[in-house]
Amino acid sequence: MTGTNRFPSIAATMLCAQLAAPLVAHAQTTQPPPDVSLFTWNDAWLGAAFVGGTIALRRLDEHYARRLQDKYTQQNRILQGIATTVRTIAEPGAMVIGASLYIGGRVSKNRDMADLGLHGSEAVAVGGGVSLVLKDAFGRARPFVHPPTDSTGFDANNWQFGRGLRQGGDYQSFPSGHSVAAFAAAAAVTAETSRWWPQWKWLIGSAMYGGAGLVGVSRMYNNRHWASDVMMGAMIGTFAGNKVVRYHHRVNPGNKFDKWLLGGSLQPANGGGFTFSPSIFPAPR
């Protein structure tokens, strides 16, 4: 009797397991993503280092301005050429390159290329917005506004709250917008490519951040910014690039912004140019 009852029990157990399997699979696939915060303690340490560097350089602003505006340094054609080139690459080059990568990726159906162009451009835009607010608020005079004379030197202490908004570009020195754009692009590219080629992370990062540093120095060489302006611009740009990539790939992957811009269809139009059809669904890989 015991033996005859065993088989129905086993069959019932197997039937329950089969019925429960789809429910378990559904529960596993609908688990909420891990709670990943946008900011970390490492960000706090990095921010503190940047702020400390800005304060330290603040004492050396006039020193570096005098050194870089020396007539022999200014007459160096190689330095002049480098300054012009890297400045143009940062602005408007960062946005032009980002848009080109995005369009090229959409046309060629290369999602990674489009992703890089989109998030790089977004990082530059976010950093630029923060930079503009600070420029207007701090109202710091650029180095060329009050050039040194025989009796006076540079005046790096010329600040006035809100003057950047009232009087425009000559009083929008802090922070350096070109440095923001350059470091935002560098941070975004480094963060994105490190997901694809982690073994090349340090090489790509060194090249990108090194180029961004040259942009900052070029702005000092052209007498448009103080050293502390560049340091604060580097901070804003670095945070913008890293946070944009972290948000889209770790904090909120598959967000509506990416679904719409990376999931749409960009195709050549019959009469020339391209047509874009947005989509609310992610593009297939």
Confidence of residue 272 (pLDDT cuts 50, 70, 90): low
The answer to whether 114 and 98 have CB atoms below 8 angstroms apart is: no
**pTM score:** 0.81
More confident residue, 4 or 254: 254
Q: How many CB atoms lie within 10 A of CB 93?
A: 17
pLDDT in tens, 184-194: 999 999 999 99
Please state the domain extents for the chain: 41-266
Mean per-residue pLDDT, 11-18? 43
Q: How many helices (H) and strands (E) does the chain have?
A: 12, 2
Percent pLDDT > 70 in the chain is 80
pLDDT in tens, 39-69: 999 999 999 999 999 999 999 999 999 999 9
pLDDT in tens, 98-111: 999 999 998 988 99
The C-alpha atoms of residue 51 and residue 49 are separated, in whole angstroms, by 6
Backbone angles phi, psi at 275, to 5 degrees: -120, 140
pLDDT in tens, 261-270: 887 555 566 6
Backbone angles phi, psi at 242, to 5 degrees: -70, -40
pLDDT in tens, 109-162: 899 999 999 999 999 999 999 999 999 999 999 999 988 876 678 899 999 999
In this structure, the strands spanning 274-277 and 265-268 are antiparallel
The C-alpha atoms of residue 176 and residue 154 are separated, in whole angstroms, by 18
Report pLDDT for 240: 98
pLDDT in tens, 208-245: 999 999 999 999 999 999 999 999 999 999 999 999 99
Q: At residue 281, does pLDDT exceed 90?
A: no
User: Using alpha carbons only, what angle is made at residue 40 by residues 48 and 247, rounded to the nearest 5 degrees?
Assistant: 120
Report pLDDT for 7: 43
pLDDT in tens, 195-210: 889 999 999 999 999 9
DSSP state of 63: H
Q: At residue 1, does pLDDT exceed 50?
A: no
Backbone angles phi, psi at 265, to 5 degrees: -120, 120
Report pLDDT for 141: 97
